[in-house]
Structure 1
Amino acid sequence: MVGPAQLLTNLAGIFAGTAEANARPEVAAKLVALDQTARTWLTAMDRAGANEVFAGLPLGTSDPNLSASFQHLYEIALAVRRPGPASDLQGNSAVRTKVLDKLQWLHANHYGDQAKGYYGNWFTWEIGISGFVGKTLALLDAPRDLVTTYLASMDAYLRNGVNGDVNLDSRFHTGANLADITTNRVVQGALLGDDLRIRKALQDQFTVFATIDPYDLKHGVTDGYYADGSFIQHSSVAYTGSYGKALLSRVVQTVKMLDGTEYAAADDLVKVVQGWVETGFAPLIFEGWMMEIVKGRAVSRPGTGYDDVAVVVEAVVDLADYAAPADAARLRSYVKFTARPTLNPNSFVSPVSVARFADIVADATIQPADLNPVASSVAFNAMDKTVHRRSGYAFALARNSERISKYEYMSGENLMPWFQGDGAYYLYLSGQDQTQAYGVDYFTTVSPYGLAGVTAPVEQRRTIPQLYGTAYYNNPTHPLHFTPSSESQNTYVYFPRGTNQHSGGATLGPYGAAGWVQSDDYAYAQRDQLPEDFVVYRNASATKSWFLLDDEIVVLAAGVGDSARAVTTTIDARPSVTTAPITLEGVLRTGRRWSGPGTADLRWLHYTNGTQSVGYYFHQQATTRVDLTPVTRSRRLVRTANPDTAVTRNVFSLSLDQPAGTRTSHAYSLLPNASRTALHTHRPVRVLTNTRRAQAIHHAGLNLTAANTFAGGPHVLPGLLIDGPASTLLQAKGRQVTVAVSDPTFDRTTISLTIPGRWLRLAEPAAGVQLTHGLLGTRLSYRTHNLHGATLSAVLR
């Protein structure tokens, strides 16, 4: 077993490739791109001005420019170090010297002076620059004095740490950020030959492998993976698709870097990461696309959900090499299942991963297989998200609560996020190019007040830069101390939570129920404590349920409205390229045929876009507004750093309007991939109740009753008596009844319900469930204490 020297060898193999991998024809394009990138930056270096390393990146006040300068030096170092096919850059001593000289110049003029540094984003100084510099020093086998000079500064810039080291009690040193910092420190330890630094960094990093127990938090940290597969970063943001994938990538790279050394990761850690893939990532990936509900502010970036999945697939490709044989086989089958034309392996970080991916794809003995069941309903209650999947579609729902943020805005990203967690949902259809339907262009062309699923007051809001002239609210003298990365900025500006407690749901096999009470955000609730010039917005009111079936999603809403403002509820919003043929056909409640756009009291509407179709069925009278409008907007509208690229989409919108001072209810179904014939013959579910106290349906074909109760006291439904609040699913098959229950408030000790009839026994043991018999029938008591919204199920016979 060997130590630091092998770590550095492994690092070079990960990022620059190995002789064996780089000789593969499948890796050639990756190497060409790597060399071309280096040449681009060398040319820019030759054209640089007096205060630049690269032309166009002036230094002194811009931390993004400084970080980019270090990044481009690293990208040149990759081309110098890489083995494989010969190039003029490979092993080029003159280029190596040029990069090392620029590192010295940057330290002397823009990095080494602590009094001048640390402007802008803390991440740049504590994580970003350290990552690029550490790898560059390792790739170029830098002189010892340059290494020690930089490492002393890296420690000094770790200002949220303790004495230049990690602080596990710091809100900055958690989750993906902690993985980044500790990986940097492992590399630093290897450069110094410092065994203690390496071991301490690994000890700190291994804390991110622990499943978060919300009832026994370590160091007060809520960031990380939860038992139900949820991932949270920034204390309250659902973030699997951005920070979560970064954490996955980083820890797998650590496993690879430790391979063959005395620090090698234990098998149980590999098993933990595999669990993240299976329960946390796979349900959120549909036909190679990462769902929007777990991307935070990253939804406004021009990269696509397909790009996000490429990061995950690379990690899975490499993880399979360290998993147990049976697990490795399942992981490789999933890689092959996800290896669609939308996945670009040349985007992988490591040339070795490109070669491994090619081996999996070419191996005829590996059969493609999803890690998801064909039919599933997943309640990510720890992060207030729900995913429902069938072979032809996936439905993703974003909720919020006093635990989970309504949205994330930060650094000029995701400028109009206000309703992204307010019951917004995304209906992904099989065979669809999701870049045409979702991604950054969805948020660019669809009104931020008219996202699918959202109930919003009719008013005009302003972005943070419009309100305050900067990317944040600045008021350091106020008692709440508003500075760019202060806790107040997080709480009131960047990612405010809701003020509602009720947000959760239950699952029963492939079926699900989710319930949510719409609320104001924390800033509006605390407006009396905020500065006078701090702008807050009041929300509309609504109590909502989503009942998730096979070919149908039933949506109920009650108490919808506002005392002073008109309100719009958007049933769906679907942008498409202007060349796509779109047809809108429906039937009025009177039975007459109708074709839109326009306003009408519809019984059902059928939308087709080429081969894609969605049906909408209305269970009660409702005057719907059907729009089909070409929209052209710039991507810069949603993110200040986006190119000023105009995007044009035909935006189909189906919505319900109501005047100020009214309260109403809605009941409708989404029917993915439904034909007009299916809508003609559709047998609607029975809506049992739709009030602010309780919402419930019964599906006769499935013999399934699903209910959300929002208030205390007994709720009487046909065949069921529920002690609310609760989410409940009950399905009878022959002489067997299955009952699933979840606590959507996360605060109840016990939930009880009664079923008519004296069922003799539990068909099988059910943890946390007790059965008693009484005059009213069979009483089931579910112990929900400290379950964080998890579902408990019992089978009666």
Structure 2
Amino acid sequence: MTHPLSRRSALLGAGAVAGLALWDGPAEAAGRAAFDAARERWVSLLSGGSSSVVHTAKTRAVEGSAHAVLRKLRPAPGRPSLWSDLPLDDPRTGNFNRSYNRMRTLALGWATPGTAMHRDEQVAETAARALDFLYEHAYHEDLNPRGSNWFWWEISVPRALTDTCALLYDGLPQDRLRRWLRPLRRWCPDPERRVSHPGVVETGANRAGKATAVAMRGLLTHDARLVERAKDAISDLLRTTNGPGDGFYRDGSFIQHDVYPYTGSYGVDYLENVAKLIAMLSDSPWEIRDSGKVYDIVDRSFVPFVYDGLMMDCVRGRAISRQGHRDLHAGQKTVEAVLTLLEAAPERHARRWRPLVKGWLTRNQSIPYDTFAPLATIARARALLEDPSVPVGPRTTGTYVFADMDRVVHRRPTWAFAIAMSSERIGAAEAMNRENLHGWYTGDGMTYLYTGDLTHWNDDLWPTIDPYRLPGTTVDTRRRADLRHGEARLPPTPWAGGVTLDGEYGAAAMRLVAGGSSLRAKKAWFLLDDAVVALGAGITASDGRRVETVVENRNTHDEHPPLYQGDGWIHLAGVAGYALLDGAEAKVIRERRTGRWRDIDKGATTGGDATPVTRHYTTIVVDHGVDPRRARYAYAVLPGVAPARTAAYGERVEILANSAAVQAIARDELLAAVFWRAGSVETAHGPLAASGPCAVLLRRDGERVRVAVSDPSRTSGEVRLTLPWAVRSIEKHDRGVRRARRAVEVDLGGSRGRTRSAVARI
């Protein structure tokens, strides 16, 4: 197999590995050597080290970008600007932030072995004069931000500036370097403190980003107190929480901005910064001693959301609207971080991660690592791909319920399915800085199907998909205005979450309380080994508008693939079959849709371009009519199956109930139910009853039944389950599960929506 990482890339990155050799002097006698060793380690992570290398596509890309920056650099004090397209007179434009990013690009070209400008004295002097200019006109300690984005002043520019100074360090006059870094005393003095909002304590990715800038300033100025401060801030970040608020939760959830799932955006930034800080400070006087916690975070919080090197969009928040930050970019940064951590990971983690990452890199060759991955990453990735002792790991499988961020992920060997929900705990969609303007329904039960088509979600989907018809959602068809900055909608319902059994089966449910509409619905998904069965009930509205449930809305790129239909089924070639159950009817819409990234992101530094892009879509919709009263739907998604299996699937699954009280199915020896309140449902073996709201999975194996229960509403205390079979004993069980009068009692109080399991003998 031809890999996207050439052998010549490995030669280019060889210096990166050598450059990461740990400083081995005694810590107590380190002095200046410790600062220099850690700084050089950081430069190795950015540029690939200082060894002699040959030209490759990567060095040419680095060199080309740096030369473009240098060629167009024309200081104009009167305007003022360094580049004519980035005037610096108004900080609200973000041009000063872009200017420092360009300086980092230039510095990377200077520090990268093999480029024509490598360690060129004239280039270094030009860069020094440019940094003087930026200090005078764009970023110094006495400036007024004038209402511009605090993030640029306190995180983005400090990160770009410290990277630039580290890369150019050997070519810069030390007195001027200290002058350029002086603004950080005001704008980024402490990883835990937000200067622009003194009452805010930094958390998550923001704290990690500030810690990196503070640590680098300490290394560049030989100030051990700053490095120690950064190290302590990172150690605090490695603690998990039960909330509320930002951070990593014990169930693997990651929250930023108080109520938004952000594993794939802010979480990736966190992981990238922490991984590099661990590598940079390893075996130094400031080594992060409790770094082992981050390895568990990788397994628990990141791996479930990485699909063949892509980061699932359901946890990327408003970043889905950024033209230059797609799932492959977030996935690539995640891969980089894991490869960096592998250098020092305990063997119990490394043993799993090496095949895992090799599988990601082998199956997904659409990510152009040679173009934008750091040289150190290229070297590590190539070494991993060419190591015959490391097998190509299979895709991750399992069912993961992230109760603390209303996300559920179901992964099978050839496909994956994710569900994004919201509740009074978790916001439906975030819009900030004029980003994610049409993300109205991304947290209203949107479903994400991942198949062998690894370009579906990143091929200009977000500007071209109909934002009123996102898969999995039930929507009022009213027209919407762009989401406003800071607009936060937490639906006034506690109901959102799921349950998992044996890592192979799952159920998820949410009560839909639509924003700005009277629409209400009960939505449930049953996650099986070969399909996902979706039920909706109690669909009611009274606004005089049509209500729809969107079964699918598939980006098929530049063509309409074959479509087959029969009585109660639809099959989209290369994607999935869709079985319409319990008498449901659906219509199919095939269209070419044109949009612009600028329509969904007008951000000052992230805004997309205005170039129209067109993609083909196949949309499957259940029409509930105008002002439905207790309408319902039932369908199954069968990824990768043939038309014949799609047509016959209705005979494999039984809808036991689909009402506002209970939704339940049976398939072979599996029973799955969502009880919205106390109630019962009749099965082939007798009634299944629950004394309160809960989600239940039962799987019979002879005289034993595996039981899994959770409370997605977080309102139940103790729930009594009466099974269709008399319970003789409980053989294995989690805390709070017990037999009671031939039934099963489960203490769900304080469970935070997490699953309680048991094996019952019947």
TM-score by length of 1: 0.85
**For residue 43 of structure 2, what is the aligned residue in structure 1?**
12
**For residue 264 of structure 1, what is the aligned residue in structure 2?**
287
> Aligned-pair distance for 1:563?
0.9
> Aligned-pair distance for 1:447?
1.4
**For residue 555 of structure 1, what is the aligned residue in structure 2?**
534
- Please point out which of 584, 588, 591 is paired with 1:629: 591
Query: Does residue 461 in structure 1 map to residue 480 in structure 2?
Result: yes
What does residue range 257-656 of structure 1 map to in structure 2 within 5 Å? 257-266=280-289, 268-270=290-292, 272-302=293-323, 303-339=325-361, 340-347=364-371, 349-370=373-394, 372-373=396-397, 376-429=398-451, 431-432=452-453, 434-435=454-455, 437-439=456-458, 441-464=460-483, 472=485, 489=486, 493=487, 495-509=488-502, 510-521=504-515, 537-538=516-517, 540-564=519-543, 565-587=545-567, 603-608=568-573, 612-640=574-602, 641-656=607-622
Residue 333 of structure 1: SS of its match in structure 2? helix
d(CA) in 1 for partners of 2:186, 2:194: 6
> Residues 276 and 113 of structure 1: is their aligned pair in 2 closer, same or farther, counting only changes over 3 Å?
closer
d(CA) in 2 for partners of 1:286, 1:728: 28
Residues 577-616 of structure 1, C-alpha deviation per residue, up to 9 Å, x if partnerless?
23353323222xxxxxxxxxxxxxxx222222xxx04222
Residue 513 of structure 1: SS of its match in structure 2? strand
What does residue range 762-781 of structure 1 map to in structure 2 within 5 Å? 762-773=730-741, 778-781=742-745
Query: Does residue 723 in structure 1 map to residue 691 in structure 2?
Result: yes
> Residues 151 and 752 of structure 1: is their aligned pair in 2 closer, same or farther, counting only changes over 3 Å?
farther
> Aligned-pair distance for 1:110?
2.2
d(CA) in 2 for partners of 1:166, 1:714: 55
Residue 264 of structure 2: SS of its match in structure 1? helix
Residues 484-532 of structure 1, C-alpha deviation per residue, up to 9 Å, x if partnerless?
xxxxx3xxx1x432221110110001000111100144xxxxxxxxxxx
d(CA) in 2 for partners of 1:149, 1:379: 50
d(CA) in 2 for partners of 1:288, 1:129: 29
Contact 1:30 1:346 in 2 (8 A): yes
Residue 19 of structure 1: SS of its match in structure 2? coil
> Aligned-pair distance for 1:162?
8.0
d(CA) in 2 for partners of 1:170, 1:678: 59
Contact 1:42 1:76 in 2 (8 A): yes
d(CA) in 1 for partners of 2:217, 2:373: 20
> Residues 73 and 11 of structure 1: is their aligned pair in 2 closer, same or farther, counting only changes over 3 Å?
same
> Aligned-pair distance for 1:767?
2.1
> Aligned-pair distance for 1:329?
2.8
Contact 2:712 2:753 in 1 (8 A): yes
TM-score by length of 2: 0.89
> Residues 229 and 243 of structure 1: is their aligned pair in 2 closer, same or farther, counting only changes over 3 Å?
same
> Aligned-pair distance for 1:165?
7.8
Residue 518 of structure 1: SS of its match in structure 2? strand
d(CA) in 1 for partners of 2:390, 2:190: 47
Residues 448-484 of structure 1, C-alpha deviation per residue, up to 9 Å, x if partnerless?
11111111112111114xxxxxx64xxxxxxxxxxxx
- Please point out which of 193, 217, 221 is paired with 1:192: 221
Residue 583 of structure 2: SS of its match in structure 1? coil
d(CA) in 2 for partners of 1:585, 1:204: 58
d(CA) in 1 for partners of 2:730, 2:759: 6
What does residue range 649-728 of structure 1 map to in structure 2 within 5 Å? 649-663=615-629, 664-682=631-649, 683-699=651-667, 701=668, 703-712=669-678, 718-728=686-696
> Aligned-pair distance for 1:733?
0.6
Which stretch of the first structure deviates more once superposed, 188-197 or 178-187?
Answer: 188-197
Contact 2:422 2:428 in 1 (8 A): yes
Q: Quick one: which amino acid aligns to residue 9 of structure 1?
A: E
d(CA) in 2 for partners of 1:164, 1:688: 54
- Please point out which of 118, 132, 136 is paired with 1:104: 132
**For residue 480 of structure 1, what is the aligned residue in structure 2?**
none
Unaligned runs of 5+ in 2: 1-26
Residues 263-317 of structure 1, C-alpha deviation per residue, up to 9 Å, x if partnerless?
1222x423x2222222222221223322111111111122432222111111111
d(CA) in 1 for partners of 2:536, 2:690: 20
> Aligned-pair distance for 1:347?
4.9
Which stretch of the first structure deviates more once superposed, 298-307 or 129-138?
Answer: 298-307
Contact 2:399 2:505 in 1 (8 A): yes
Give me the identity figure in percent: 29
Q: Quick one: which amino acid aligns to residue 666 of structure 1?
A: Y
Q: Quick one: which amino acid aligns to residue 751 of structure 1?
A: V
> Residues 198 and 539 of structure 1: is their aligned pair in 2 closer, same or farther, counting only changes over 3 Å?
farther
Q: Quick one: which amino acid aligns to residue 393 of structure 1?
A: W
What does residue range 45-64 of structure 1 map to in structure 2 within 5 Å? 45-46=73-74, 50-61=79-90, 62-64=92-94
Contact 1:555 1:667 in 2 (8 A): yes
**For residue 38 of structure 1, what is the aligned residue in structure 2?**
66
d(CA) in 2 for partners of 1:165, 1:462: 33
Contact 2:211 2:231 in 1 (8 A): yes
Query: Does residue 178 in structure 1 map to residue 142 in structure 2?
Result: no
Contact 2:733 2:757 in 1 (8 A): no
Residue 411 of structure 1: SS of its match in structure 2? coil
**For residue 787 of structure 1, what is the aligned residue in structure 2?**
751
> Residues 709 and 571 of structure 1: is their aligned pair in 2 closer, same or farther, counting only changes over 3 Å?
same
d(CA) in 2 for partners of 1:709, 1:323: 43
> Residues 79 and 792 of structure 1: is their aligned pair in 2 closer, same or farther, counting only changes over 3 Å?
same
**For residue 142 of structure 2, what is the aligned residue in structure 1?**
114
Which stretch of the first structure deviates more once superposed, 148-157 or 127-136?
Answer: 148-157
**For residue 468 of structure 1, what is the aligned residue in structure 2?**
none
Contact 2:560 2:618 in 1 (8 A): no
d(CA) in 1 for partners of 2:101, 2:445: 39
Residue 6 of structure 1: SS of its match in structure 2? helix
Residue 364 of structure 1: SS of its match in structure 2? coil
d(CA) in 1 for partners of 2:596, 2:507: 37
Contact 2:271 2:334 in 1 (8 A): yes
Contact 1:304 1:440 in 2 (8 A): no
Contact 1:625 1:656 in 2 (8 A): yes
Residues 345-380 of structure 1, C-alpha deviation per residue, up to 9 Å, x if partnerless?
23555312211111111111110114723xx21111
Residue 523 of structure 2: SS of its match in structure 1? strand
Contact 1:407 1:420 in 2 (8 A): yes
Residue 731 of structure 1: SS of its match in structure 2? strand
> Aligned-pair distance for 1:756?
4.8
> Residues 366 and 767 of structure 1: is their aligned pair in 2 closer, same or farther, counting only changes over 3 Å?
same
d(CA) in 1 for partners of 2:411, 2:352: 20
d(CA) in 1 for partners of 2:189, 2:475: 41
> Residues 163 and 766 of structure 1: is their aligned pair in 2 closer, same or farther, counting only changes over 3 Å?
closer
Residue 632 of structure 2: SS of its match in structure 1? strand
Residues 616-636 of structure 1, C-alpha deviation per residue, up to 9 Å, x if partnerless?
222223342211112222232
Q: Quick one: which amino acid aligns to residue 752 of structure 1?
A: R
What does residue range 141-180 of structure 1 map to in structure 2 within 5 Å? 141=169, 142-158=172-188, 171=200, 173-180=202-209
> Aligned-pair distance for 1:538?
2.4
Aligned residues: 713
Q: Quick one: which amino acid aligns to residue 516 of structure 1?
A: M
Contact 1:751 1:782 in 2 (8 A): yes
Residue 508 of structure 2: SS of its match in structure 1? strand
Q: Quick one: which amino acid aligns to residue 744 of structure 2?
A: L
Residue 730 of structure 2: SS of its match in structure 1? coil
Query: Does residue 234 in structure 1 map to residue 227 in structure 2?
Result: no
**For residue 244 of structure 1, what is the aligned residue in structure 2?**
267
